[in-house]
Structure 1
């Protein structure tokens, strides 16, 4: 029951019912859990004011005053006049519109936010709401501060007709201007987010975070089922469904949202030292080797076997051991989240970076779950999305290569595997930020190169890099897979030969018995090598980086004499052709 105070104001009830599990909850206990049901985990809706209070640093919030009101330009009446609906919503919520715009800080990092309040006509997108979101973007643009958009909406406001529809275009182009200016945008999806909001600003941000079970979609479940009579799967349009299909970056419970937001804001500030420690340094660690003569000759086939050993550190293990922090971002935003490629925002000492890498597995089961690190087209498109984010924010890119090759299946071909690889190669060549690649295990063919068009290409001492696997080469050229050891030797795929040929710029020495024998030491050496490379490259401007990188790859195969040059291949004037087609 509710109580009325002596002043006549209505106080909130002491007990509330969870709409999901129907449990009676003591209100003060519910407030302590940030209005998340302690029994079933349902995230109850928050007002805009409650959301702002939970996310921002206390005492830093300033309203961004915009006297914006929706008006009944159509004279629209359904069961009652639209003007009357607006008046009642304003009286009941104390808000002028369904969006509240503020500026403040999160962990000291500046932030502008536009927060939707579902109580105001279901958070519908009308002219007033669209104008406020647009002005929030313009405020962020003027200040150069990141923008947070918190969505809670049933869709477009029908009572405003086509004017409501135009808000989708207006807000979307405002987000586009922030992209052009290199300003970070973050979307927080809360339940529900549908229609015009979902099809505009809510899904156009650099990073999309969703609360557990939050629903997002263009058309709601009931509309779909009634319109096309299609049976929809359980969990359809929930955050969990969206994550599986690569449409959101992460799901975070309300208790973790502020911390996640802070890490993203810190990771997206280029050229600013982070709070992380510089990491462990062993003064006896060997430097990156750049002279082939300093490396011993190895048996190429043995090296191939070592590069494939299951116990070697994976990308995720290097991220845990060599980096100060990593926040994984999921999905290609086109319907897939390939597990063979991982990536996200990270800190390496004082450098914020974007990391992308092939991910094998620490166990047989994980190896299978990661598709043996053979990416689908969606994996390469996820990588491309992260490369573009790095370019937008001015962050260095670090890539880890460890794959036998891109996945060769039917679905991969149907989805454009070759095109996805080609697009990545072209994209990386033109990134206006430092790019460093480390080959940690197998560097297999175009599946590896799609993450390896870098300013500096490093390789672990027992890793390999080749146009094809030795088994594939021997099957094609000798018609005998048993000739794989010979093919390995002829392909010159080990670190020493690759350094001699100029394909890689340096070799990171592994522990005496290989990286698999001492993950900690291997990670320390990788950290040292990557920090040094980023430090060297970060003093060079973007256009110069692009020019040098393109010149680097332009030089391969550009020799004029029939001898091995630094790029490994020479071009002669002989116009004859072998009977065997080139591979």
Structure 2
């Protein structure tokens, strides 16, 4: 790709004394003419635009020439319809260029947004250290964020943090725990991980003239084969601790998969598995509940997954299995209602097809938020209900021994759901 010509004034746009000498020393030491090197390459079987930061060149800082290179790289990616992989190590904006350097963040943010709107994936590999605007644009703004173990990551660099700041909070591991990155990957595993991600994310139908996306087929049932005789039996089968859960369904459905993690707002939910997998040679995105009460972070992560799949032209599979949304005080403080509303909106507005399989408990709106309107299926050992039978019994002021009868009245069995038009069908067991 063409490299912008250097038209900078002596000692830079601010006339910062000694700036030219600093750049010359950095060029001699690193062999590079700027803090980023951009080009195209194949990672695995996928061609991509690569952006690599050279931290040895003035701390990988962003200046006007850096912005020129980054804009050229993103423009080239859109023209060639290539994904973008950024290998980031930066201290932030270049002080010797003042506000003109800081303004480059707006350029980078715009180029990233244009590339996102074009349906092209962006992957960030965050190295040590990554701080300031480089983290807040190229890093945190990527679709998938991988980080090297122990990398220092944060908007605040090490020299500008409060003196009593917890140093662990600025590590890759802490960022993963807080839901801000997707995975910590060892250096020796990085090429393989990026190659797998590129293959998964570039399999979609996007761009002018893209063909319609075919829906994912629902998985086969893995548990109890016979439909339940009563409502309470349906509830008992769904709550059976021996029943296959989401992990078993995903393992049987996909030949390979990669996970995303976190809601990018400070939270994670181990009871919501999200990512992309290979099903019969094509990529399918998935969001799967694991039988626990779903946290607000889980709903936000699922919404992030569905919107990313929608942009990339990839079908979505959701697995519903939850007694309901988490309803404790912490869940309310974390915005349970808003998170559920956002997931409802993500499913409702998705342009790609969403397929849902109810594999266990379908507890009220906390389960329905993940379900596809008109394309939801159920296993024989599942149920879907407006409310749990025990809670319905309590609300109706009935005696506890009437819970079983209440379960029948709720019409929550798979065959009831089918007759009511709530689901499209009951999936047979594998091999049937």
TM beyond 0.5 = yes
Q: How does 1:418-429 map to 2 (within 5 A)?
A: 418-429=337-348
* 1:444 correspondence with 2:363: yes
* 1:467 correspondence with 2:400: no
Identify the match of residue 254 of structure 2 among 293, 309, 323: 323
**Deviation readout 1:392-426 (Å, 9 max, x if unpaired):** 10000100000000000111112221121122112
- Aligned partner of 1:453 in structure 2 is 372
Residues 356 and 383 in structure 1, CA contact (< 8 A), matched pair in contact too: yes
* 1:177 correspondence with 2:114: yes
Unaligned runs of 5+ in 2: 206-219
Q: How does 1:320-399 map to 2 (within 5 A)?
A: 320-360=251-291, 373-399=292-318
Q: Distance in 2 between matches of 1:376 and 1:441?
A: 18
- Matched residue of 2:93: which SS? coil
Q: Distance in 2 between matches of 1:462 and 1:509?
A: 11
- Aligned partner of 1:251 in structure 2 is 184
**Deviation readout 1:225-265 (Å, 9 max, x if unpaired):** 24xxxx33352211100000000011110111111111111
Q: Distance in 2 between matches of 1:336 and 1:461?
A: 33
**Deviation readout 1:370-395 (Å, 9 max, x if unpaired):** xxx11121111111111110011000
Unaligned runs of 5+ in 1: 1-63, 273-284, 287-294, 361-372, 511-520, 526-583
Q: Distance in 2 between matches of 1:259 and 1:239?
A: 19
Shift of 1:480: 3.0
- Matched residue of 2:365: which SS? helix
TM-score under structure 2 normalisation? 0.92
Q: How many residues align?
A: 412
Shift of 1:498: 0.3
Alpha-carbon distance change, 336 to 68 in structure 1, aligned in 2, over 3 angstroms: farther
Identify the match of residue 130 of structure 1 among 59, 64, 67: 67
TM-score under structure 1 normalisation? 0.68
Identify the match of residue 105 of structure 1 among 25, 35, 42: 42
- Aligned partner of 1:40 in structure 2 is none
Shift of 1:351: 2.4
- Aligned partner of 1:90 in structure 2 is 27
Q: Distance in 1 between matches of 2:318 and 2:16?
A: 56
- Aligned partner of 1:509 in structure 2 is 428
- Matched residue of 2:409: which SS? helix
- Aligned partner of 1:232 in structure 2 is 165
- Aligned partner of 2:230 in structure 1 is 299
Q: Distance in 2 between matches of 1:351 and 1:390?
A: 13
Alpha-carbon distance change, 94 to 222 in structure 1, aligned in 2, over 3 angstroms: closer
Shift of 1:223: 1.9
Residues 68 and 132 in structure 1, CA contact (< 8 A), matched pair in contact too: no
- Matched residue of 1:391: which SS? helix
Q: Distance in 2 between matches of 1:65 and 1:191?
A: 28
- Aligned partner of 1:269 in structure 2 is 202
- Aligned partner of 1:314 in structure 2 is 245
Shift of 1:320: 1.4
Q: Distance in 1 between matches of 2:159 and 2:400?
A: 57
- Matched residue of 1:485: which SS? helix
